[in-house]
């Protein structure tokens, strides 16, 4: 929970030019993942405030998010889809995921997921703009949970190897408390309906992430950097859908 952990989280998850050196304990950055997601969400919130048509603002939010994150998570989702679609064995799937080329599974998956996000955003930018801040935070929380509960799938080193290998289940506790605490503050002091929608979004994201984690564990033996990217994108997409579900 140090400033070094925060700078590492920002450098890992965004293209923001934050100074810093290599971190000997990368797992400390996990505490800040939801916070960095909220920072990205604030940028999206600013774009959503522009005096443009809702469909245009939704497209700009997607474009800005992809730019600020270097499309890092989208690339992970694409590789994960190609690996699962083209690899019949664990070894072959991991090999495909390391290939820089994108196949049909990657392209189709990205198109479908981005269409879902865009459809949600066209409504959210007008009717529920705070979800633009909360959904990215929830998506990054899902990454923390995946890194904390699953082993690293590869035998050697990779993009997220040290992060995952050093993470323990307790590293997911405080990030989860951050998100739940935000929901509680919203409920008690600001907007009860938004707080309930945020809890619904959190539940949807958690359900989606558990499915992805189970698939990754069964097919790959754990997670990689690509899997963590897929968890974030799919978790955030599920959160956006959750915000739009009607409350009973």
pLDDT tens-digit readout, 2-37: 667 888 999 999 999 887 665 567 888 999 999 999
Overall pTM > 0.85: yes
Quote the pLDDT of residue 62: 97
Burial label for 100, CB within 10 Å (0-12, 13-18, 19+), is exposed
Rg (CA), the chain: 17
Query: Span 157-185, mean pLDDT?
Result: 90
Higher pLDDT, 162 or 140: 140
pLDDT tens-place string over residues 216-225: 999 999 999 9
pLDDT tens-place string over residues 174-191: 999 999 999 999 988 888
Higher pLDDT, 209 or 162: 209
In 165-244 the beta strands, taken as DSSP E runs, fall at none
Query: Span 119-135, mean pLDDT?
Result: 95
């Amino acid at each position: 929970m140090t400033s070094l952990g925060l700078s590492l989280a920002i450098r890992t998850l965004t293209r923001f030019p934050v100074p810093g050196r290599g971190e000997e304990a990368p797992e400390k950055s996990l505490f800040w993942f939801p916070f960095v997601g909220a920072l990205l969400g604030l940028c999206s919130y600013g774009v959503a405030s522009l005096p443009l048509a809702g469909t245009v603002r939704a497209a700009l939010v997607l474009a800005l998010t992809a730019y600020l994150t270097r499309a890092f998570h989208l690339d992970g989702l694409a590789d994960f889809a190609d690996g699962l679609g083209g690899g019949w064995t664990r070894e072959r799937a991991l090999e495909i995921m390391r290939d820089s080329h994108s196949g049909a599974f990657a392209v189709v998956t990205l198109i479908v997921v981005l269409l879902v996000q865009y459809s949600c955003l066209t409504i959210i930018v007008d009717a529920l703009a705070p979800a633009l801040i909360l959904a990215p935070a929830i998506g990054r929380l899902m990454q923390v949970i995946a890194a904390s509960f699953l082993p690293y799938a590869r035998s050697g080193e990779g993009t997220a190897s040290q992060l995952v290998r050093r993470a323990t289940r307790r590293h997911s506790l405080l990030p989860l408390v951050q998100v739940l605490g935000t929901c509680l503050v919203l409920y008690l002091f600001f907007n009860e309906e938004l707080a309930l929608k945020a809890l619904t979004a959190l539940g949807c994201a958690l359900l989606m992430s558990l499915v992805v984690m189970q698939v990754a564990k069964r097919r790959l033996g754990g997670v990689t950097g690509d899997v963590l990217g897929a968890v974030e994108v799919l978790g955030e997409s599920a959160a956006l859908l959750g915000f739009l579900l009607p409350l009973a």
